[in-house]
Chains A and B, each alone.
Chain A
Amino acid sequence: MKHRKLLAFAVTAAALAAAPAGAEGKLYLYNWTDYTAPGLIEKFEKETGVEVVLDTYDSNETLLAKLKSGGGGYDIVVPSHNFVPILLEEGLLQEIGADKMPGFSNISKAWRSPPWDPGNRYTVPWQLGSTSFTVDTGAYAGDINTYKILFEPPAELQGQIGMFNSPDEVISMALTYLGFPLCNENSAQMKEVRDLLVAQKPHVKVYNSDGIKDRLVSGEVLAHMNWNGYSIRARDEKPSLHYAYPKEGVITWVDNLAVPKDAKNPENAKRFIAFFLRPENAAAQSNFAGYDSGNAEAAAHLDADKKSAPELSTPAGAKLVFSSSCSQQAIALQDKVWTEIKK
């Protein structure tokens, strides 16, 4: 959901291809692009003798299509929370009893037994974060913690807005701004969403979910829809870039480790999950990707800049909004809105 890097993915893949052949068999890991800490994999290989093979995807839909077609032969996949129920409904995941694994107690109480996997029978959190937007506070000095900045921008930001190029994420944000439920099947409310987004379009410079950091740092746009982890990387290069926690609700997502039903090495998959539940390993992944792992004990092992990052600490009392898997009718309405915006 949050790391579709166009150009850099080959680097990790190439580094991992050089791993030594393991006597303990293999582990086929299927993860989002640019989302697996290379050091983590090396450590796991050294510790267990298992050879890890990494393959990557760029959307939940790709993952679903691949698993549904029976292809891949993967041992671990990393679906977002809203896709876990779909994978379960399609019978594509196997039970791993994560709640009985050593190290499970390290997971923060807030992220145990989530609605998409009660009792953690199938999944543990890999990385979690939020989707909001980043504003160049050098250009706009007012309060940024409202979606109004994005959808009805002040004069300073008009024509300088960047949005994701994904109907689901843009429309979810518009629905949150308007105070309507996500995955909306109410055509009157979706009409309001359309009106809002059509009125917003003249202020939008670009719809693109890639290269966000580049556009923000180069000043090409002054506000851009963004994920919290990516916002850290942007602020590293330009300190005036601040991440917003909108009062209307912060859209939150969780990507989870899960084991497909037809995994060939389920034991190695469980070893990897247990390995990841150890705080120092979860922290290594967070240090690489810039997202929280949901592991309460990991904080001690985080790099100093991650410990203090405002992007990683959602303000207490913030309203969290979780997307869920939408019905066919809701998706059809989203598609209709999107076509009308871009026709």
Chain B
Amino acid sequence: MTESRFINFALPPWLSAGPAMAVLLFFLAAPLCIVAAYSLMEADPHGGVRAAFSSEAYVRFLFERDWDGNLALDGSYAAIFARSFLLAAAATALCLLAAFPAAYCIAGQPPERRGLLLLLITIPFWANLLVRTYCWVLILRDSGLANTWLSALGVIASPLPLMYTDGAILAGLAYSYLPFMALPIYAALEKTDWRLMEAARDLYAGWWQTLFRIAVPLARGGIAAGCIMVFIPSLGAFIAPDLLGGGRKLMIGSLIQLQFSSSRNWPFGSAAAFVLLAAVLLVLWLWLRRGGAQKAQW
């Protein structure tokens, strides 16, 4: 009886998927189409675009009009992209290193304590990103916490130059996105059958072997999800590079932001955002093709 009632209420698939499709259409497809269209138009001198076709924005990525107006091969933007990708990859690796042990420990706790520990991981996330990043300025600058303590302990004689380095950017990024890594790994580990770990120990697997041959493969789906969720926002970040890196080098995020503000070149900003999106999709696609897909459990 229950079964037939369920069938009565069931909607045809195309209709039941309607709300999801509408959300995707309005919040994903439509904005992307606008960005794509803008990237192929001419820049309005006062910001915005003029309705005229131009592929100049894409040409600019590889070819720069030199000071005399000729087209010449130019690596500036490629270098900016490469730097951003490297930094995002490093931030992701750092997050993974910090988040896996944390998630592993939490998943191994009695259930009543896990909730509290997870809450503690997410609490910093309630504060504004700008505020959290600025706190790192207070820690890392010459007269900041780190240098004050180190010199009080007599470890250093003069302040270490911690601020305005790639390391400072990395610390800020990894700190900002740590929960994005810890939560999916925890979710994956929590679902696994911990008897497998016990069995491994019973069969004389060492601590490292248990970790790398049992726990890590079981958490693979969570690790993959976490990596994607940290890598992508790190790639577009501009607050940490500007505040902690001293704005000395452009990142993709700051490049795009610049085009929409003082450089008033919306088409180039849109094109940069689009190239970034394409690059991310390409990396993901290659990764999924290499077999990540079968093993990743989302």
Contacts and interface: CB of A to CB of B under 8 A. Distances in A.
Given A64-B47, A201-B248, A204-B248, A59 B143 contact: no
Contact of B261 (A6, A61, A188, A219): A61
A65 interface: yes
A9 to B, nearest CB: 11
A167 B263 contact: yes
Interface residues of A, number: 41
B262 A168 contact: yes
A165 B242 contact: yes
Of residues B67, B79, B263, B265, which shows the largest number of chain A Cβ atoms within 10 Å of its Cβ?
B263
B248 A207 contact: yes
Contacts of A332: 263, 265
A165 B142 contact: no
Chain B interface extent, by class: 35 or more
Interface in B130-148: 130-131, 134, 137, 141-143
Contacts of B258: 167, 335, 338
B25 to A, nearest CB: 22
Interface string B255-284: 100111111110000000000000000000
Of residues A86, A165, A168, A334, which shows the largest number of chain B Cβ atoms within 10 Å of its Cβ?
A165
A205 interface: yes
B228 interface: no
Contacts of A168: 262
A206 B262 CA distance: 19
B177 to A, nearest CB: 20
A207 B46 contact: no
Contact of B134 (A7, A86, A218, A328): A7
Nearest to A87: B46
Contacts, number: 96
A59 to B, nearest CB: 6
Contacts of A208: 242-243, 246-247
Nearest to B80: A343
Contacts of B260: 61
B47 to A, nearest CB: 6
B250 A339 contact: yes
A220 interface: yes
Given A6-B134, A167-B262, A335-B263, A61 B47 contact: yes
Given A86-B46, A220-B142, A207 B247 contact: yes
A65 B262 contact: no
Contacts of A64: 46-47
Contacts of B77: 339
Interface string B37-81: 000000101111000000000000000100110000000110110
23 contacts: A90-B46, A167-B258, A187-B67, A191-B67, A204-B248, A205-B246, A206-B163, A206-B246, A206-B248, A207-B247, A219-B142, A220-B142, A328-B264, A331-B45, A331-B263, A331-B265, A332-B263, A334-B263, A335-B263, A338-B258, A338-B263, A339-B76, A342-B248
Interface of A: 6-7, 59, 61-62, 64-65, 68, 86, 89-90, 165-168, 187-188, 190-191, 201, 204-208, 211, 218-220, 327-328, 331-332, 334-336, 338-340, 342-343
Given A191-B67, A328-B45, 14 more contacts: A6-B130, A6-B134, A61-B260, A68-B48, A90-B46, A165-B242, A204-B248, A207-B247, A219-B142, A331-B262, A331-B264, A331-B265, A339-B250, A343-B79
